[in-house]
Amino acid sequence: MTHLTQILSRAGLRRVAGTVVAAAVLQCFSGAAQAADAVVLYTADGLENLYKDVLPEFEKKEGVKVSIVTAGSGEVVNRATIEKDSPKADVIVTLPPFIQQAALSGVLQNYASIEYKNVPAIAKAADGSWATFVNNYFSFAINPDVVKTQPKTFADLLDTQYAGKVAYSNPATAGDGMAVVILTTSLMGEDAAFAYLKNLEKGVKFHTKGTGYLDVLLSRNEISVANGDVQMDLDDAENGGLTLKPVFLSAKAGDAPATFQLPYAIGLIKNSPNQAEGKKLIDFLMSKEVQAKVPDVFGLPGRTDVALSGKNGNALKAAVAGVKVVPVDWTEVMAKKAGWTQRWKNEVIADSGKQVDVVKPAQ
């Protein structure tokens, strides 16, 4: 295990960020425009502010409109897989292990962008099917106005004060949801992790299809604790005006809080309608100029030649100071992912009848 402060100082483990203007809702999946002058991006939620900042420049420069469809990491990959024989999107941005799933399913087309040369080998596929776009770390989040003494261990979440006030995203459809399973199994072992999640479920209010909705629910005090990732949580707090704070939990009292790398990765959709424009969008998002704006939304640049700097970059360093990074074998995760998902449905949710696909905050 390695301290995050050490990780952040190593250029070789920095990651990348970027892309796409206005956010379209999920229903756009069924009817994204495929005109020759448009490029379609399927993206995991969390990078909306970055897209709004950088994509107008791309559209002006290339004369190409960008249509965005935002959903949970698993949801965008599942949709792209269903559409594999008749693709609707050109570029996809999602979290592991769903980016690996997309590659194995034949959804991605190898594209060795010239901008990938500054992405470390560990942070991209050898065949060019994907590369880290924005590096990030898994976290939990609380509403600090409600939770005065923040939880420090996983066992703390079992306290009665959180009964009915915990929520986390569905591991079958959200990268951050699967991250809950990945981290608990890494720290506790598989059987103990599922026993813990079953116990935790007594205090869980519901599960969401994607993770982005949870920050809104936290801010509105509909829940007190949720899962997330440090980039999205810090960005929603600072730039979205939401009341929330990322926290990291430890396996037991006395241990250092733990996390693991959970980067946004980017890839070209195989046989997409607008291949040339899709490649240009990837090149643009991975460019040094766009990467330099990643710290503005609390992400870590994916390129080794772009520093983590500025006020928000320093805030990110402070947020993760003293947190340990647990190494993750993504090949092993891919091998176990389907079994974990089924086990979660069978043992954690079981016959509770609890909602597992909440798609938006209650009005």
CATH classification of the domain holding 337: 3.40.190.10
Residues 203/362, Cβ–Cβ less than 8 Å = no
Residue 323 is assigned to a structural domain of this protein: no
How many CA atoms, within 13 angstroms, populate the side-chain half-sphere of residue 47? 41
Which helix or strand (DSSP H or E) is residue 352 part of?
none
254 in any annotated domain: yes
Looking at residue 16, its pLDDT comes to 27
Based on the fold, state whether residues 283 and 255 are members of the same structural domain: no
Answer whether residue 1 is part of any domain. Answer: no
17, 294 Cβ separation under 8 angstroms:
yes
Same domain, 222 and 304: no
14 and 70 assigned to the same domain: yes
104 lies in the same domain as 216: no
Choice among 2-6, 112-116, 303-307, 312-316 with the minimum mean pLDDT: 2-6
For residue range 189-230, what is the model confidence (pLDDT) as tens digits?
999 999 999 999 999 999 999 888 899 999 999 999 999 999
How confident is the model over 247-276, as a mean pLDDT? Answer: 96
pLDDT in the model for residue 84: 96
291 belongs to a structural domain: yes
pLDDT for the residue 78: 94
Q: What is the pLDDT, as a whole number, of residue 37?
A: 66
Q: Is 72 domain-assigned?
A: yes
Residue 287 has a pLDDT of 98
The arrangement of strands across the sheet holding 2-3 comes to 2-3, 324-325, 258-259
- SS3 (DSSP) at 146: coil
Whole-angstrom distance, CA of residue 148 vs CA of residue 146: 6
Report pLDDT for 17: 28
Q: Are 132 and 224 in contact (CB under 8 A)?
A: no
The pLDDT tens digits of the residues spanning 23-80 come to 333 333 434 434 456 899 999 989 999 999 999 999 999 999 999 999 988 899 999 9
Range of the domain at 202: 138-259+329-349
d(CA 319, CA 313): 10
| Burial degree of 243 (CB within 10 A; 0-12, 13-18, 19+) | middle
Task: For residue 261, list its beta bridge partners.
Answer: 137
pLDDT bin (cut points 50, 70, 90) of residue 231 is very high
- Residue 93 has a pLDDT of 98
Does one domain contain both 23 and 56? Answer: yes
